[in-house]
Structure 1
């Protein structure tokens, strides 16, 4: 048998390492002098120590090294464990390469003051469908378009024509600096028409470039400040939230009184939405609207229909804060998209 110093030289492990593997139960010496504590190793243990030294160099965890040592009498099992560790190392190297590539990309984006958004084309199209209806009729001072804001792991789209506002948020991978750009309506519509798969959208202060497969869209954002839309979206202290079935509400709306109004030389129909004490929704007439009792809100009828279309089928939540605050149309069980309709004053 060999002493610990000789075993260290023969195996490539240091004396302290041999002591560590002894205390860890990985390689217990064949004999220990009870008076001096001197450790002695057999030829088989030297072979095991050489294997331990190699496994240590490739980063195998101590618990797995111990199992390899226990399996030395079964070479097949040892080889299986070695192959498994190699597979983990290769997977870890692939992950490291991807992460380093991502960091290089992030540095490139920050140097160019660019933001990159990646998300499924279906998610981008759905978010645009939920807001574009509110931008179509926009005129000065805010032209027709869509605000794009990036967040931590999502992108928010906002559109308004001053009489209504629509907001939609979609999960996305966001790299680079935070972005807040106002896209012209034509560019937003082109983005909605991109094909399937994932869409990558690169944003800078003077350029928008999107790609999905072999299809590309490019354009320029508008140089203007979008209003602070967030101050409008929170519910008021007295808001009433009512869950409605879209089909039933449409049926009520078809038979509801229509009040004609005119604004800036344009005629439009008005519907007066009210909530009874029992919580049921109905449409009121002109007399109740004139009473201004705070239990209703009057909105442009066509705007309401478009908000219901954007909200989707099934159920929606209507949020009423009285006749002077917007009517909110929100999805049930989430805030991924919603619309606000400005009230029409009597």
Structure 2
């Protein structure tokens, strides 16, 4: 028999993916050690695991995967062929529809890019309190993206508008926004995306209490602190209009004690998300529920209860750390709406986490 680690290595599925498919009843281990809970698989299950990995790479729905594996195990090749053909047709139709829609969007994107050029070329120079800029960077840096397919999310947006400097970062699944006061050249607005490494170099420069000078000239940004300077090229992309993304309907609010809540998250129950991507990676989810008295608890599992919402546990822990307060406000809307993490004393600095749909 193979251990779960050996099966993961030989099949191309991650250990977390195999655990998920066990819980989902799709690929159940032949034996589970009653003492350690360790999973063991029979040799013939390797073929099923490899098949499962291929089906997930082509985004076959979980319900269809169940039938394919059942047909495979029962030698019902006719069922398997029909399910594969049906999924291929769905993919082909979806691709055709996507090409048609994208062809109509391209000219609209071209016009939009031309209208945004002025925000990237405006020259602005501001003075910013070093502690405020450092705190703003600390509040948003964790949410910057790393996906090479979305380079415009691979940094921190500096949105300079009059005497207000807003910093924004997002990787699609989470967003963080912070505000710092500024003085100097007002009126002109400029937006630049500071690459993550340059943002980190700026943060390292912000060790003092004195104001620093921030200058944007075309695609170059410079931060000066006394006789020290950090400068570099900005990303040549447009950032999403974050102002639209943060307009959320009012939700229910709960004040949480951050140290106690963090401990509850770290030791509480988790649920594996459905594996995504070519590597079949999944993440640990925390299922949260807000009681009528405003208490937030971590649930054993999720169901159809509309007061429950699942979020990536690591993302939530990062947002709590970035909040930099012993008390934070959690705001819950609908199960499909982002969860907001706000500071009680600063409404301009907050994080948003996209909820994760639970598979039942």
TM-score (norm 1): 0.64
Preserved CA contact (<8 Å) 1:130 1:311? yes
Alignment partner for residue 327 of structure 1, among 328, 339, 345?
339
- Matched with 2:51 is none
RMSD: 1.7
1:100-128 superposed Cα distances (whole Å, 9 cap, x missing partner): xxxxxxxxxxxx94101211222111110
- Matched with 2:291 is 276
Q: For the residues of structure 2 that align with 1:165 and 1:139, how far apart are their CA atoms?
A: 18
Alignment partner for residue 244 of structure 2, among 203, 226, 231?
231
Q: Give 5+ residue unaligned stretches, structure 2.
A: 1-120
TM-score (norm 2): 0.61
- Measure how far apart 1:231 and its partner are: 2.1
Correspondence 1:191 to 2:206: no
Q: For the residues of structure 2 that align with 1:222 and 1:268, how far apart are their CA atoms?
A: 30
Q: For the residues of structure 2 that align with 1:120 and 1:294, how far apart are their CA atoms?
A: 43
Correspondence 1:145 to 2:155: yes
Q: For the structure 1 residues 137 and 273, does the alpha-carbon distance in structure 2 shift closer, same or farther, using more than 3 Å as the test?
A: farther
- Matched with 1:220 is 233
- Measure how far apart 1:322 and its partner are: 2.4
1:290-324 superposed Cα distances (whole Å, 9 cap, x missing partner): x2322021110000000000001311000101210
Name the SS of the counterpart of 2:347 in structure 1: coil
Greater relative contact order (CA < 8 Å, ≥ 6 in sequence): 2
Alignment partner for residue 129 of structure 1, among 135, 138, 153?
138
Name the SS of the counterpart of 1:130 in structure 2: helix
Preserved CA contact (<8 Å) 2:286 2:310? yes
Q: For the residues of structure 2 that align with 1:208 and 1:184, how far apart are their CA atoms?
A: 10
- Matched with 1:170 is 180
- Measure how far apart 1:334 and its partner are: 1.9
Name the SS of the counterpart of 2:202 in structure 1: helix
Correspondence 1:285 to 2:312: no
Q: For the structure 1 residues 182 and 331, does the alpha-carbon distance in structure 2 shift closer, same or farther, using more than 3 Å as the test?
A: same
- Matched with 1:312 is 324
Name the SS of the counterpart of 2:200 in structure 1: helix
Preserved CA contact (<8 Å) 1:138 1:162? no
Q: Give 5+ residue unaligned stretches, structure 1.
A: 1-111
- Measure how far apart 1:283 and its partner are: 0.8
Q: For the residues of structure 1 that align with 2:129 and 2:177, how far apart are their CA atoms?
A: 18
Name the SS of the counterpart of 1:335 in structure 2: strand
- Matched with 1:117 is 126
Preserved CA contact (<8 Å) 1:247 1:313? no
Q: For the residues of structure 1 that align with 2:353 and 2:327, how far apart are their CA atoms?
A: 18
Preserved CA contact (<8 Å) 1:138 1:160? no
Preserved CA contact (<8 Å) 1:170 1:336? no
Q: For the residues of structure 2 that align with 1:127 and 1:334, how far apart are their CA atoms?
A: 12
- Measure how far apart 1:188 and its partner are: 0.9
Preserved CA contact (<8 Å) 2:175 2:352? yes
For these two proteins, the number of residue pairs brought into alignment is 231
Preserved CA contact (<8 Å) 1:135 1:144? yes
- Measure how far apart 1:136 and its partner are: 5.2
Name the SS of the counterpart of 2:215 in structure 1: strand
Q: For the residues of structure 1 that align with 2:204 and 2:276, how far apart are their CA atoms?
A: 34
- Matched with 1:54 is none
Name the SS of the counterpart of 2:236 in structure 1: coil
